[in-house]
Amino acid sequence: MKALVYHGPGQRAWEVVPDPVLLEPTDAIVKIDTTTICGTDLHILKGDVPEVTPGTILGHEAVGTVVEVGAAVTTVEPGDRVLVSCITSCGRCRFCKEGHYGLCTGGGGWIFGHTINGLQAEYARVPFADTSVYKVPDGLTDEDVLFLADILPTAFEVGVLNGGVQPGDTVAIVGAGPIGLATIMTAKLFTPSHIVAIDLADARLEKALEFGADSTINNGRDDALAMIMELTGGLGVDVAVEAVGVPESFELCTSIVRPGGHVANVGVHGHSATLHLETLWIRDITITTGLVDTTTTAQLMRLIQERRLDPSPFATHHFSLTDAETAYDVFGAAAETNALKVVLTAEPVPALPVTDAVKQAEPVGV
C-alpha cells in the first residue's frame, strides 16, 4: 500500500510501505476512505515531537471501512463504515474506566501517527477496535463526521466543558485556528451572551465572525486587555479559552478573566508560561489543561446527525489521498492559502492543474 511517511524533521513522502496486518486479536484493519491533516502533524514534521520516529506513517483522523477484524472483535465487522478517532481506548485501564481515554495506560491514548503507524495511508491497523471506533450512522457522509476525529471533541471538552461555559456567559477565545473556531461553534451550544475572538491574523478573525463570534480583537494591533475590560464593564470575561499554545496567549487569558472565572487551556505549549500568582491568588480563578478524551464524540455525532451542528465550513480544500504531499503544502501555508482543514479522499477527485498546484487549489465549502 501507499502512505505518508515521516522521515525526520522536514522530510515526508507518499510512498510504498508494507500492508498493515492484525497483530492482536483486538485489532481491526481499516481501509482509509477520508482523512485530514492536523496542526500537530506539522509540529511533528518540524521535529517538535521527538517520540515520533522516522519511518512512522503520520495522521490521527480518518473515516474508513473495516476490511478485517481480529478474533476478539465483536462489535464491528468487515464492511462497517467507522470513524477512527485521534484517541484510542483500551477500555480496561483505570483511566479508561474513568472516561479519561486520553490518559490510557493500557496501550491507547494518542497513538496513531505518534507511537504507532497513523491514518494518512490506504490502510491502517486499528488497535482496540471495539472500544475505540465509532460506526458512522447511515445518512452521514465521511466529511460530516471527519472532524469528530479531533478538533470538535478537543474544542468542546478541553475548551468549552473544562471552561464551564454557561448560558449568558461572555467567552473570549484566544486563537482562531481550527481549534479556536471549533470552540466558537461548540460554545454556542450553551448560548453564551457574547463570544469575542482574539487573534493576530485578520483573515482568521473574519472566519471567527463566520463561525459565530460576536466581536473580534486583533491583539497585534489593539490592546486586548483594555478592550475586554471595556466590553465587560471592567470585570473581565467569564471564560477565557487559550487555543494557540504560546506563553503570551496563556498570559493574556489569565489577565482578561473575571474574578471567579475560568481559563481553559487547549493549546499545546513548547515553552514555559508565567503564572502570575501574585495577582491571581485572590481572584478565585480556575485554570484547566488537558488532552482530549473524546468522551463526547458520540454526543457531537448526534448533534451533527440532527443538523444542530454543521462542521462543513471547516473543509476549505479537497484533495485525492494520493496527492497527500500537495495537501501538506497547502495546509502548511495556511497564512497564504487560508486553509482550515484539508480533506483527503481515497476516491479520485477532480485533478488539480499540473502547474503550481498549491496556488491553484480552490477553497471549497466556505
Ligand X SMILES: NC(=O)c1ccc[n+]([C@@H]2O[C@H](COP(=O)([O-])OP(=O)(O)OC[C@H]3O[C@@H](n4cnc5c(N)ncnc54)[C@H](O)[C@@H]3O)[C@@H](O)[C@H]2O)c1
Please report, as ranges, the residues that interact with Zn ion according to CB under 5 A.
38, 40, 90, 93, 96, 104, 106, 108, 150
Nearer to Zn ion, 146 or 184 (CB): 146
**Distance in Å, CB of 10 to ligand X, minimum:** 18
Among ligand X, Zn ion, none, partner that 303 touches (CB below 5 to 8 angstroms by kind):
none
In contact, 109 and 103? CB cutoff 8 Å: yes
Q: Decide which of ligand X, Zn ion, none touches 200; Cβ closer than 5 to 8 Å per partner kind.
A: ligand X
267 binds, among Zn ion, ligand X, none (CB under 5 to 8 A by kind): ligand X
Q: Which is nearer to Zn ion, 106 or 127 (CB)?
A: 106
Comparing CB distances to Zn ion, the nearer of 4 and 256 is: 4
- With cell 473556531, the residue in question is 181
Residues within the interface to ligand X (CB under 6 A): 39-40, 150, 154, 158, 174-180, 198-201, 204, 219, 243-246, 248-249, 266-268, 290-292
Q: What amino acid occupies position 232?
A: T
Which residues contact residue 274 at a Cβ distance below 8 angstroms, ignoring those fewer than 6 apart? 247, 251
Residue 180, contacted partner among Zn ion, ligand X, none, CB below 5-8 A by kind? ligand X
Reading phi first (left if > 0) and then psi (alpha if -120 to 50, else beta), residue 362 is in beta
Supply the minimum distance, in Å, between the C-beta of residue 264 and ligand X: 10
**What H or E segment, with its residue span, contains residue 325?**
helix 324-332
Which one, 135 or 269, has the nearer CB to ligand X? Answer: 269
Phi, psi (deg, nearest 5) at residue 323: -100, 30
Residue 196: which of ligand X, Zn ion, none does it interact with, CB under 5 to 8 A by kind? none
Residue 366 CA, chain-centre distance (Å), reads: 19
Minimum distance of ligand X from residue 266's CB (angstroms): 5
Nearer to ligand X, 17 or 256 (CB): 256
Residue 185 near residue 157, CB atoms below 8 Å: no
Strand positions, DSSP E, 122-242: 123-126, 133-135, 170-174, 194-199, 215-218, 237-242
